[in-house]
Amino acid sequence: MTSKETIKEIREKLTNESYSAADWQAYQEDNRKGVQALVLKEQKKHAERQKNLEHFQGMLMWEHRLWEQGYTYIAGIDEAGRGPLAGPVVAAAVIIDDSFYLEGLDDSKKLSESVRERFFDTIKEKAVDYGIGIVNAKTIDQINIYQASKLAMKKAVLELKHQPQFLLIDAVKLPELPIQQESIVKGDQKSVSIAAASVLAKVTRDRMMKEIDRQYPSYQFGSNMGYGTKMHLEALEQFGPTPYHRKSFSPVKEATQS
């Protein structure tokens, strides 16, 4: 059986998802090789979407459990930038509701830069609320990176317009905040709101490092984001640290002393 539509027309309908159930049945029965190739491609796309949906629903376990207990404002919290030799540490807090769905959302480190950038805008648009906390290199040197990461997280929570009733935090606890909370190891892979926070934190920090790169192009901050790459270390040895370097971090400390 062959559909009356041309392969080009069928491709356009599948691309625009403007086909009916009867159309889909006809395409499946169409014996043209080109149509069958389009059908196979569409089936794979549907399977991928279903896989993404199931993964997303699995990552909503923590939020669903808390929503069922009566909590409305649940903030997922994560940070970016603990390991680099330069730049701030940035944290984000994100509150979502049960209408939030972002296909493909995952730990920001698993996403490409283009996907993170796209998700960044979508998360800000669809989230109930979000906050960003930033702690600079000078403060990191004064209080250490662990405490600075926690400080950035607290700042992010305080930026929220809605007072959160519960905090889901990636790997740490914030006992200084009088809010019920849960520390989740690898939380950015297990909680939608933490994953969303990881994207906001990562993109915010990356954009800041690209701005710093314009001031100090020799260090290639726009590509290494402050991490100790070979080119970064060579520039550090040749030119010394910038005001954005963490002077308590080795080998920045060594470059400062030399």
Q: Is 170 annotated as a binding residue?
A: yes
Cβ–Cβ < 8 Å for 120, 200: yes
Residue 49 to residue 45: CA distance in whole angstroms: 6
Cβ partners under 8 Å of residue 101, min gap 6: 56
Residue 84 to residue 92: CA distance in whole angstroms: 18
Q: Is 125 annotated as a binding residue?
A: no
Token duo for residue 41: 């491609």
DSSP reduced 3-state for 132: strand
DSSP state of 251: T
Extract the annotated binding site: 78-79, 170
Extract the annotated binding site for a divalent metal cation: 78-79, 170
